[in-house]
Structure 1
């Protein structure tokens, strides 16, 4: 699956997971978003489900500071906007915080839900703490990758 990143350059470049993904050719930086691009959008109305895979050609992570996220995501984006179902951050800055994911965590979570587990793990392997994200969320990701509608998510969360 093609991965893309829209960079806002608001965080420490040394800690920026999107910049590292670009450096290792795991994602491409973009300035324009196409209609069949899945845009990971934490404030979207709809939640990502496995069947979304049939309508997309690539996945885009928006790389911005969490302190500026509401402002940045209030802008109009082309593409298919989806939020991720609840996941715990595995990164050292926001460890175990719900939905405070880095760009690589968000992209990996989306890949996993869409059935691209191998690629999801490959991009996490570039980060010392990448395995932590997967370990914290493995059971949830397994369940999310099997759902048919977003209405199944509350039932999954009750079990955890």
Structure 2
């Protein structure tokens, strides 16, 4: 699966997971999103499901600061927008916070859900804390990779004590 990042350069470059992914050739930095690109958007109304794999040819992570995310995602992007189902951050900045993922975590999670587990784990191997993200979310990711509808997400979250 083709991984792409649209970078806003709002965070500390030393901690930027998207920049590191580009540096290692895991993802490509882009300026424009194609129509068959899956845009990971935490504000999307629809959640990523395994069946979305047939609609896309790439996954696009929008790399921006969480403090400026509402501004970054207020822009209209080409492509198919989806949010990830709830996951815990494994990165040191937002450790164990629900849905405060780095670009690398988000891209890895999307790959896992779409059935590219080996590729997902290969991304996490590039970060000292990458295994932590996987350890925190392994069971959820396995469940999410079997989803057939968004309705099943609430059931999974209740099973793991993550629902309100």
TM-score, L = length of structure 2: 0.97
Deviation of 1:41 after TM superposition, in Å, equals: 0.2
Q: Give the equivalent residue in structure 2 for 1:148.
A: 148
Distance, in Å, in 1 between the alignment partners of 2:85 and 2:153 is 7
Structure 2: runs of 5 or more not aligned: none
**Across the two proteins, how many residue pairs are aligned to each other?**
160
Distance, in Å, in 2 between the alignment partners of 1:91 and 1:153 is 23
- 2:28 is the alignment partner of 1:3: no
Structure 1: runs of 5 or more not aligned: none
Q: Give the equivalent residue in structure 2 for 1:54.
A: 54
Deviation of 1:86 after TM superposition, in Å, equals: 0.1
Distance, in Å, in 1 between the alignment partners of 2:93 and 2:16 is 11
Deviation of 1:118 after TM superposition, in Å, equals: 0.1
Deviation of 1:83 after TM superposition, in Å, equals: 0.1
* Alignment deviations for residues 17-37 of structure 1 (CA, whole Å, 9 cap, x no partner): 000000000000000101100
* Alignment deviations for residues 6-26 of structure 1 (CA, whole Å, 9 cap, x no partner): 000000000000000000000
Alignment of 1:20-35 (within 5 A): 20-35=20-35
Distance, in Å, in 2 between the alignment partners of 1:140 and 1:59 is 20
Distance, in Å, in 2 between the alignment partners of 1:96 and 1:16 is 19
Distance, in Å, in 2 between the alignment partners of 1:83 and 1:101 is 12
Distance, in Å, in 2 between the alignment partners of 1:79 and 1:68 is 21
**Considering only aligned residues, what root-mean-square deviation do their CA atoms show, in Å?**
0.3
Q: Give the equivalent residue in structure 2 for 1:104.
A: 104
